[in-house]
Amino acid sequence: MASFTRPIILIAATGFGLAACTNPDGSQNRTGTGAAIGGLLGAATGAIVSGDDKKGAVIGGIAGAAVGAGIGNVLDRQARDLERDIGGSGARIINTGDQLIVRMPEAITFATESANVRPSIQDDILAIARNLQQYPNNTVQVIGHTDNTGTASFNQGLSERRASAVASLLRQGGVPGGRIVAFGRGETQPLASNGNAEGRAQNRRVEIIITPR
């Protein structure tokens, strides 16, 4: 029983560890968050696998913290590079700690009901492609989303075409096709309410999700 109890306690403590992973300005330190998550989960896993709570927790914690901190550091650096390159485009860069999400609203990316990428944003997408070439050890999902105006089938098709158009530009910019998967979610994953114009505008978007591997 003890060999399972201690790992559970370690995992439960993750929340307390993450609370300390903040910068002086209150923003989250992604490198510290990655180290905390990796260390706590590594400790728990090491204890379970080894059968020796103390030894396994120490070994697993060290290994997990190193991996987690490394991923967090890379994502922090890549996010800063993206902010430098496309910060004024209107795209939003979100660092979740284990992924980067580049959120591109329809307003800056496509005309209404169109899957043709606006010329004004194409250079920014090519800048994202250059960034991805500098960080080759990650995969890329390009996901299209719509509001619920119109039929579900039309929205699904539009979201797929828009995702494909952005993915095509990334490939033109030099990102190997094998790293990119493009698909649409249609109206099924809204960010906000579709009951008003502001919410619908938030829901019409393409997201580029960058995941370390």
What is the per-residue pLDDT for 154?
Answer: 98
Q: So what's the pLDDT on residue 213?
A: 85
Domain extents for the chain? 30-212
User: Global pTM?
Assistant: 0.72
34 versus 204: the higher-pLDDT residue is 204
Give me the pLDDT at residue 25, please: 45
Q: Rounded CA gap, 207 and 205, in Å? A: 7
CATH 3.40.1190.20 assigned to domain 30-212? The reply is no
According to the model, what pLDDT value does residue 71 have? 79
Least confident among 3-12, 32-41, 106-115: 3-12
Q: Are 50 and 68 in contact (CB under 8 A)?
A: no
Share above pLDDT 90 across residues of the chain, in percent, rounded to a whole number? 66
Q: pLDDT confidence of 167, banded at 50, 70, 90?
A: very high
For residue 10, the model assigns a pLDDT of 45
pLDDT of 85 reads 97
User: Bigger pLDDT: 116 or 52?
Assistant: 116
Please report, rounded to a whole number, the percentage of residues in the chain having pLDDT higher than 70.
67
Amino acid 186: pLDDT: 98
Is a pLDDT exceeding 90 seen at residue 155?
yes
